[in-house]
């Protein structure tokens, strides 16, 4: 029960229950964060750098969104509830992934995989939309890099820039302001990193749909993945 995959043929590879549970919990929380985050943004669809920014000050970017001041009530409630779920769920996933060897065995690319030539080959294949099983039979290198990037860079960045917008947290940890260059800078980076998350999700979902959506969905829901690990 310790290690899910070692030595088994692909047809027996399963997503363990804790991966499926945290995957879908995280997916639901992320969807709620995207919807509510956009609704909050409508109150001031402009981005600024530094400490201050408002309709009375020049913006770095004015987003092509309608202004709506009436959505922040429900949206903030949902955003912070979903944020707690996202953070607690993500922390549980990270802890289990470390303890169970998941991070090292499934997500950490092998040295041969990230040699420039191997990576260039994969990128070329992806750009030509050419499928094909990755040599390891599990996640391919680009997939591993994307997952690790979301887990270790993007999600923490979204969390920390979110906390930098909290007047309570920053009273205790003013270093957050120094780290991101001010409250409005944190807000801008929060938006940009959330946008990057949306881009990741778009590719992630497209890859599921473009490969074998039924088998892949069944794998992430029931665990019976077939050779789902071949997904690109």
Partner 1 sequence: MSALTRRRLVLGTAGFGAAGLVGGCDPGAPQLRPNPYGLSDWLTFAGQRLLLARQPLAREFGPEAISAVFPTINTTDPDDPAYRRSKAAGFSDWRLPVTGLVARPGAFSLAELKAMPARTQITLHSCEQGWSAIGQWTGVPLAQVLAAAGMRPEARYVVIRTVDGWWDSYDLFDALHPQTILAYGMNGADLPVAHGAPVRLRVERQLGYKSLKYLSSIEAVDRVDGIGHGRGSMVAGLGFSWYAGI
Beta bridge partners of 46: 62
- Determine, following the binding rule CB under 8 A, whether residue 190 of this chain makes contact with partner 1: no
Q: Which is nearer to partner 1, 177 or 200 (CB)?
A: 177
Q: Which is nearer to partner 1, 18 or 173 (CB)?
A: 173
Token output for 230: 């071949």
- Determine, following the binding rule CB under 8 A, whether residue 58 of this chain makes contact with partner 1: no
Contact assessment for residue 34 and residue 198, using Cβ atoms and an 8 Å cutoff: yes
- Centroid of chain to Cα 116: 25
d(CA 138, CA 74): 41
Q: Which is nearer to partner 1, 63 or 114 (CB)?
A: 63
Q: Which is nearer to partner 1, 106 or 183 (CB)?
A: 183
d(CA 191, CA 148): 20
- Determine, following the binding rule CB under 8 A, whether residue 76 of this chain makes contact with partner 1: yes
Which residues 6+ apart lie within 8 Å of 177 measured at CB? 51, 164, 170, 183, 186
Token output for 39: 């609704």
Min dist CB 46 to partner 1, Å, is: 8
Which of 12, 65, 77, 124 touches partner 1 by CB under 8 A? 77
Which residues 6+ apart lie within 8 Å of 11 measured at CB? 226, 227
**Of 44, 53, 40, 146, the residue nearest 83 (C-alpha):** 40
- Determine, following the binding rule CB under 8 A, whether residue 25 of this chain makes contact with partner 1: no
Min dist CB 54 to partner 1, Å, is: 4
- Determine, following the binding rule CB under 8 A, whether residue 36 of this chain makes contact with partner 1: no
Which of 169, 179, 192, 215 touches partner 1 by CB under 8 A? 169
Q: Which is nearer to partner 1, 15 or 183 (CB)?
A: 183
Cα-only R_g, the chain: 20
Min dist CB 193 to partner 1, Å, is: 16
Q: Which is nearer to partner 1, 18 or 177 (CB)?
A: 177
Which of 53, 90, 134, 219 touches partner 1 by CB under 8 A? 53
Cα distances (Å, whole numbers) of residue 123 to 32, 89, 116, 206: 32, 31, 10, 16
Residues that bind partner 1 (CB under 8 A): 40-41, 43-44, 51-57, 69, 72-74, 76-77, 80-81, 83-84, 165-174, 177, 183-184, 187
């Amino acid at each position: 029960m310790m290690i899910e995959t070692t030595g088994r043929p692909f047809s027996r590879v399963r997503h363990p229950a804790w991966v499926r549970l945290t995957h879908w919990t995280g997916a639901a929380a992320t969807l709620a964060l995207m919807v509510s985050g956009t609704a909050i943004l409508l109150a001031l669809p402009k981005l600024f750098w530094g400490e201050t920014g408002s309709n009375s000050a020049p913006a770095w970017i004015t987003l092509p969104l309608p202004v709506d001041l009436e959505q922040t009530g429900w949206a903030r409630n949902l955003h912070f509830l979903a944020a707690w779920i996202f953070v607690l769920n993500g922390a549980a996933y990270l802890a289990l992934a470390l303890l169970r060897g998941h991070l090292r065995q499934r997500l950490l690319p092998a040295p041969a995989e990230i040699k420039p030539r191997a990576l260039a080959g994969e990128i070329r294949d992806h750009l030509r939309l050419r499928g094909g099983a990755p040599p390891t039979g599990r996640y391919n290198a680009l997939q591993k890099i994307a997952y690790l990037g979301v887990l270790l860079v993007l999600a923490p960045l979204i969390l920390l820039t979110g906390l930098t917008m909290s007047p309570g947290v920053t009273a205790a940890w003013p270093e957050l302001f120094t780290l991101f260059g001010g409250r409005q800078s944190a807000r801008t980076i929060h938006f940009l990193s959330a946008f990057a998350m949306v881009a990741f999700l778009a590719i992630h979902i497209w890859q599921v749909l473009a490969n074998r959506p039924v088998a892949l969905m069944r794998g992430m829901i029931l665990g019976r993945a077939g050779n789902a690990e071949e997904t690109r």
